[in-house]
Amino acid sequence: MVYHKTEKVLEKQQSRKRKILNAARELLAEKEMGSASIKAIAKKAGIATGTFYLYFKDKDALIDTMLKEIYKELLDLIKKERAPYTNGFDKLEATMKACINMFMSKKNLARILLDLTPQNNAVFNTKFTDIINDLIWLTKIDLDELMEQKLIPEQDTQVSATAFVGAFREVILAWINSDEPLNEEQAYRTLINFNLRGLGKS
């Protein structure tokens, strides 16, 4: 006798995997991240703890998958928002605006992607660092282009890109963890101007 999964079962399984990923996202995004235990995730996803291991090899695999997913969502949005522009500064500004909008509307995503405060998990930290480094690397590409075109002064673009991302990250995190800035417009402009001026936009 051979057993073949029916459509209904396949769908149920996919839905469960999604539920696990969503539960993990929600729990990780909450302030007290200690709460993101397998037991808690399983409970939130509506399954038994053992069931978790039918969908993911271990906790590391879950975190890996989750971070990849979130990062992809961010990159896709950035790509879309940058598409209309060819000028380097416009592209950078579009990138920042895309990030601000995404992070402010989906604060839980932002907490996971920008805030590494509370993780004890080695894979999480490694993956996380990789993502930040990747963002810095993408920024550096833009800066090298701008420097090539003499639109910004001679500088160590690796350092500038790191500073750029660092400034951005700290501000967004402050907004997320406290309450919004009083004057959104001015705050946004201040951040964007800080970074663009920092590069030496002439």
Which residue ranges make up the site for a copy of itself (CB under 8 A)? 32, 34, 116-120, 122, 125, 128-129, 136, 155-156, 158-160, 162-171, 174, 181, 183, 186-187, 190-191, 193-195, 197-200
Q: Are 67 and 75 in contact (CB under 8 A)?
A: no
Amino acid code (one letter) for 31: K
Q: Between 1 and 182, whose beta carbon lies closer to a copy of itself? A: 182
Which candidate, 168, 173, 172, places its Cα nearest to that of 192? 168
Residue 143 binding: pick among a copy of itself, DNA, none (C-beta 5-8 Å cut-off by kind): none
CB of 173: closest distance to a copy of itself in angstroms? Answer: 8
Do 70 and 25 touch, CB atoms closer than 8 A? yes
Q: Which is nearer to DNA, 59 or 111 (CB)?
A: 59
Quick one: what does residue 174 bind among DNA, a copy of itself, none, with the CB cut-off 5 to 8 Å set by partner type?
A: a copy of itself
Nearer to a copy of itself, 29 or 171 (CB): 171
> For residues 121 and 158, which CB has a smaller minimum distance to DNA in the complex?
121
99, interface contact from DNA, a copy of itself, none, CB < 5-8 Å by kind:
none
Which one, of 13, 5, 11, lies nearest residue 45 by Cα?
13
Residue 122 site contact among a copy of itself, DNA, none (CB < 5 to 8 Å, cut-off depends on kind): a copy of itself
Q: Is 135 exposed, middle or buried (0-12, 13-18, 19+ CB in 10 A)?
A: buried
Nearer to DNA, 122 or 159 (CB): 122
Task: Let me know: does 19 contact 42? Beta carbons within 8 Å.
Answer: no
> Tokens in use for 99?
């990030």
Q: How far is the CB of 121 from DNA (least distance, A)?
A: 7
Q: Tell the burial category of 161 from Cβ atoms under 10 Å away from its Cβ (0-12, 13-18, 19+).
A: buried
Choose the contact partner of 83 out of DNA, a copy of itself, none; CB within 5 to 8 A by kind. none
**Residue 173 main-chain phi, psi, to 5 deg:** -60, -40
Rounded Cα distance between 84 and 92, Å, is 12
Which residues are at the interface with DNA (CB under 7 A)?
Answer: 1-6, 8-9, 12-13, 16, 34, 36-39, 47-54, 58-60
